[in-house]
Amino acid sequence: VLKDISLEVSRGETISVIGPSGSGKSTLLRCLIHLEKASSGTIYIEDEPISLRQHDKQVHIHESQIKERCRKLGMVFQNFNLFPHMPVLKNITLAPILVRNKSSNQAEQIAMDLLAKVGIDDKAHAYPSQLSGGQQQRVAIARSLCMAPKVMLFDEPTSALDPEMIGEVLDVMKKLARSLINDQTLEPTQVAGFNQFFDDADAAEAWVYGGAVDQKISSSVYGGLEYMYRDMTIPVYTQP
């Protein structure tokens, strides 16, 4: 799906990846977090490889090393993937307790702080079925952040929402992108998002069916984005 892709994201940078359905946007993110295994090429997270190619051969990396390195990444999916039999607070604290060895009190304090950040701390004891789609997606964002990732990946997080709920989730994403770099409780976080997040991105990459596409930044992804097809990958363009 992905061919001749080259991309580098700096600490604290917000990148929006745009392109039509089938162009490989989700596959790119899934490769980064190792939900899909890259068949070739090199992927580094903070100078540590999760996929490595040297001297025209793929180098084997032990699965335990890959898992440890991928813990630096958090991901929010198109669907919320919340446990329906658990209240919001339990959904968020489960992984930090089991994977990060946080105490229940520590995990709950972090979770409540994050729920406040995404504007639904009053829903901590509600079940997913009692929440709107936008609220469930905000829970999913808080759940990912509770693992203290250094990189946040958003895979079209508004695509499963009703139109009236899209704005509330986008607002949360934009506020997080602006504030997390200065947050005292979280490490600096990079955010990768898609189409609707374009206007607030530091830069954008455009992809068309597995290849990169040169682009000129416009004020809106829907209002005049200009593509110029190329066979090679493109640099990151920074908005003025």
Q: pLDDT of 15-57, one tens digit each? A: 777 777 777 888 888 888 888 888 888 888 888 888 887 777 8
Choice among 40-44, 108-112, 124-128, 235-239 with the minimum mean pLDDT:
235-239
Beta-bridge mates of residue 151: 73, 190
Distance of CA 14 to the CA centre of its chain: 10
pLDDT of residue 90: 97
Return the minimum-mean-pLDDT range out of 10-24, 25-39, 80-94, 129-143. Answer: 10-24
Count, residues in the chain: 240
| Average pLDDT of the chain to the nearest whole number | 76
* Cβ partners under 8 Å of residue 228, min gap 6: 213, 214, 215, 216
DSSP secondary structure letters along the chain: ---S------TT-EEEEE--TTSSHHHHHHHHTTSS--SSS-EEETTEEEEEEETTEEEP--HHHHHHHHTTEEEE-SS----TTS-HHHHHHHHHHHTS---HHHHHHHHHHHHHHTT-GGGTT--GGGS-HHHHHHHHHHHHHTT--SEEEESSTTTTS-HHHHHHHHHHHHHHHHHGGG-SSS---EEEE-GGGGGG-SEEEEEETTEEEEEE--S-TTS--EEEE-SS--PPEEP-
Q: How sure is the predictor about 130, in pLDDT bands with cuts at 50, 70 and 90?
A: very high
Q: Which two tokens stand for residue 196?
A: 């609707």
